[in-house]
Structure 1
């Protein structure tokens, strides 16, 4: 079949390349979407990084809230 087509063999290979590329990107994005919400296991490096970032964010937001409350009290 491919021998009789001749010129369109390159077109078939191009379409195959595009199909494989799109399917690979779809599978990778689906896998990332499935695994991104999973909490890391305690005791691992990923857990420590996530814990420290959440802790720092909590401390930062608590300070901002206290500053806002003090400013709001002074205005009233």
Structure 2
């Protein structure tokens, strides 16, 4: 949300905790579904080793992105 205070435009950011977690879980679910289609089975216990490794490697990027979102929100200083 942008705020006009006469001279400067400031962007007001709100701390969102639930939205990044929902995005993380949806990206992780997407990776799981893609690998399930490749492995032809939704049970992770029946997957081959490479698919399990791919799931964990694929989960690293969304986790890193979510952690960075929380760090940016923590370090954000409001200008008003």
> Is TM-score (shorter-chain normalized) higher than 0.5?
no
Q: Give the TM bin, normalised by the shorter chain.
A: 0.3 to 0.5
1 or 2, which has the higher strand percentage? 2
Of Structure 1 and Structure 2, which has the larger fraction of its residues in helix?
1
Larger RCO: 1 or 2 (CA < 8 Å, sep 6+)? 2
Q: What TM-score do you get using the length of structure 1 for normalisation?
A: 0.41
What's the TM-score once normalised by structure 2's chain length? 0.39
Rg: which structure is higher? 1
